[in-house]
Amino acid sequence: MISQKLPKIWYGGDYNPEQWHEEVWNEDVRMFKIAGIDVATLNVFAWARNQPDENTYDFSGLDATIDRLYKNGIYTCLGTSTAAHPAWMAKKYPDVLRVDYNGRKRKFGGRHNSCPNSPTFRKYSERMAEKLAERYKDHPAVLVWHVNNEYGGYCYCENCADSFRNWLKETYQSIEAVNKSWNTAFWGHTFYDWDEIVPPNVLSEEWDGNRTNFQGISLDYRRFQSDRLLECFKLERDAIRKHTPDIPITTNLMGLYPELDYFKWGKEMDVVSWDNYPSIDTPISMTAMTHDLMRALKSGKPFMLMEQTPSQQNWQAYNSLKRPGVMRLWSYQAVSRGADTVLFFQLRRSIGATEKFHGAVIEHVGHEHTRVFRETATLGRELAELSDHIIDAQVNAKVAIVFDWENRWGIDLTSGPSVALDYVKEVHKYYDALYQQNIQVDMIGIDEDLSNYDLVIAPVLYMVKGDYHKKLEKFVADGGTFVTTFFSGIVDEHDLVTTGGYPGKLRNLLGIWSEEIDALHPDVYNQIVIKDKITHLEGEYQCNILFDLIHSEGAEVVAEYGDDFYKGMPAVTRNTFGSGEAWYIASSPDSAFLQDLMADLCAAKEIKPLLTSEPGVEVSQRVKEGQEYLFVMNHNNKTSQFELGNEQKRDLLTGETVNGTISIAAHDVMILTDQ
């Protein structure tokens, strides 16, 4: 568990008492108790208060808050306050200010605003972390360290340019190796000296965020910035760890955030935490996938839900309220997929600045007689009762979907074949097909051991790095089923094409050659025509976006295209390889195809759904010491059904015993066990 000090599902959230005064503080504590809140995240944006000038540190306010809360049974998730530099620092040391993508030197403003290569930022953020660690190392309230906040944003300043050149020297050793890796002979961009290299942005090689003339430099710049921001985290982490080696350290991530290679970050964190802010149109299975992805960063270890809103957000276009029950429902969704905390942003609403219309446990009215507070208090009581069952429970899956940030960057940066290709959406299509059938999935990185899985799916594995193909070959040879898609095996880790025929290094495993890749407007569909019915796969399906024109080189042709000049060419192939098989899906299919494909592949591997439910009823399971906890969550606005069969189960939340066909109310949750 994250900390023995508080062996339950932590409940609470961000708390900013520096925006308030003493009377309010007392009301806060009174209401926190009513709501069952036992953790407060403090000090996230307090750098300017903690360090009013270069030489002065003042933690008196923080001391008082930690003490006051602890006296009232509330622990601290302790921020390091470095997520926004003080105004005096920006004035005195402009190197902390970033240069933006358009090449403009920024002035003081916003947050997440420090250049990751700024000597000033590095020096003072590390020093701040150390001072906090020294001061609070023995305080019993401190449960976990929360370094900085939502790291992100790139910088293009001269310090970054220099640091980039150093990063390249470390990575490539020679300028010749850089030229080769970036294929600079193209358009005569050959570099003869490291100093000729400039960061890729609107002033040099890029435009529109992800468009670039040279994929190589743009890819490396993303690696470099992700690494340098990670170094900033590590500087603070190591300063803390010296003093409190036993208190876990995290920083809050942002799910599918594109700019950081979170698999690298997960390795450096003691516990993963993240902030869950779905939009009004985010599919619920996309949120589930993101929880699974965050769990993957430390290979399945439980994680922290660091932030969610109790009611509404403020920065969306239309900030709808979470309907009654939905805050609880989505909290359990997180728990069901590995979260051992339920924390909110924030505990009391600000009265000024950009987030004053972001929901909070304590709203502007200031009392507890609100719908939002009542729902929060109800959940607090439930979680207190549940905790010893759930914490540290694992999620077990036999199906894995590969997700890789560098592959994503490679696809995003590509010029051609189609702007309609979206890596995250393609991955989610496969995830959703399994989700709809209540089949538990692990999202995995490319470093993950495959031997625990029966089925591994790698949608649009455009970039095959190093010997990853050999790992896949071994997995299949040993009996596993592997699925990949169109536009896979195209390039290596430098975004250089593997010549000799697509899908490059995967060609042997898949038993096919992809001769051409057609791209049509996404409104134009072709058909996937199944040749011989399997169990679910039968008849015709639709596909669009990209169309690989493939030839079998040994693979069985499972389906053909139904239209266009490549009608009759393979659209789906299956290649027997050792004891397993490798599938290739040559275009982007509709959900009917993917659900039927997944049903057939899982059936072949005897991977069973957790149970059968109506659409909109989500099921996920955690397991602890052999005991299974089956979470059933109804996202529908109406009562819905699912099937338990004859098995007798107990609902942890109500204590009732159930079997057969079960009704679950709109937005309700059940946690079923055999006990």
**CB of residue 217 vs a second copy: minimum separation in angstroms?**
9
Is the distance from CB of 465 to CB of 505 less than 8 angstroms?
Answer: no
Q: Which is nearer to a second copy, 149 or 336 (CB)?
A: 149
38: Cβ–Cβ under 8 A, 6 or more apart, which residues? Answer: 6, 8, 10, 11, 12, 73, 74, 75
Q: What kind and span of H or E run contains 375?
A: helix 371-390
Task: Kindly tell me which residue out of 102, 452, 663, 673 binds a second copy, with binding defined by CB under 8 A.
Answer: 102
Out of 150, 205, 368, 560, which one is annotated catalytic? 150
Is the distance from CB of 485 to CB of 459 less than 8 angstroms?
Answer: yes
The residue to which tokens 């042997």 are assigned: 508
Contact between 140 and a second copy by CB under 8 A: the answer reads: no
Q: Which of 164, 101, 126 is nearest to 243 (CA)?
A: 126
Structure tokens at 175: 């300028």
The residue to which tokens 């900013």 are assigned: 16
Q: Which stretch binds a second copy (CB under 8 A): 128-136, 209-217, 402-410, 646-654?
A: 209-217
The DSSP secondary-structure symbol of 24 reads: H
Structure tokens at 560: 């053909």
Q: Which is nearer to a second copy, 546 or 619 (CB)?
A: 546
- Side-chain half-sphere exposure of 514, counting CA atoms within 13 A: 28
Task: Kindly tell me which residue out of 4, 55, 138, 188 binds a second copy, with binding defined by CB under 8 A.
Answer: 188
**What's the rounded Cα separation, in Å, for the pair 163 and 118?**
10
Has 307 been annotated as catalytic? Answer: yes
Annotated binding site: 111, 115, 149, 155, 157, 160, 315
**CB of residue 142 vs a second copy: minimum separation in angstroms?**
20
The residue to which tokens 């190796």 are assigned: 177
Annotated binding site for Zn(2+): 115, 155, 157, 160
Query: What track of x and - describes contact with a second copy for positions 365 through 404 (by CB under 8 A)?
Result: xx---xxx--------------------------------
Task: Kindly tell me which residue out of 312, 387, 508, 636 binds a second copy, with binding defined by CB under 8 A.
Answer: 312
Contact between 321 and a second copy by CB under 8 A: the answer reads: yes
Q: Which is nearer to a second copy, 114 or 437 (CB)?
A: 114
Cis amide bond preceding 503, omega within 30: yes
Is the distance from CB of 305 to CB of 274 less than 8 angstroms?
Answer: yes
- Compute CA distances 296 → 199, 289, 396, 423, 435, whole Å: 32, 10, 12, 18, 17
Q: Which is nearer to a second copy, 415 or 451 (CB)?
A: 415
Separation of CA 80 from chain center: 22
Q: How many residues bind a second copy (CB under 8 A)?
A: 110
Has 150 been annotated as catalytic? Answer: yes
The DSSP secondary-structure symbol of 114 reads: B
**What's the rounded Cα separation, in Å, for the pair 471 and 155?**
36
Q: Which is nearer to a second copy, 189 or 241 (CB)?
A: 189
| Contact positions with a second copy (CB under 8 A) in 60-99 | 81, 84, 86-88, 90-91
Task: Kindly tell me which residue out of 114, 418, 437, 527 binds a second copy, with binding defined by CB under 8 A.
Answer: 418
Task: Kindly tell me which residue out of 138, 170, 245, 318 binds a second copy, with binding defined by CB under 8 A.
Answer: 318
Out of 126, 130, 236, 307, which one is annotated catalytic? 307
**What's the rounded Cα separation, in Å, for the pair 76 and 87?**
27
| Contact positions with a second copy (CB under 8 A) in 602-641 | none
**What's the rounded Cα separation, in Å, for the pair 473 and 500?**
19
Three-state SS for 40-81 is: EEECCCCHHHHCCECCECCCHHHHHHHHHHHHCCCEEEEECC
Structure tokens at 265: 């970050």
Contact between 197 and a second copy by CB under 8 A: the answer reads: yes
| Contact positions with a second copy (CB under 8 A) in 430-469 | none
Q: Which is nearer to a second copy, 279 or 661 (CB)?
A: 279
Annotated binding site for substrate: 111, 149, 315
| Contact positions with a second copy (CB under 8 A) in 24-63 | 45-49, 52-53
Query: What track of x and - describes contact with a second copy for positions 324 through 353 (by CB under 8 A)?
Result: x------------------------xxxxx
Q: Which stretch binds a second copy (CB under 8 A): 204-212, 221-229, 269-277, 470-478?
A: 204-212
Contact between 204 and a second copy by CB under 8 A: the answer reads: yes
Q: Which of 592, 638, 593 is nearest to 614 (CA)?
A: 638
Active site residues: 150, 307
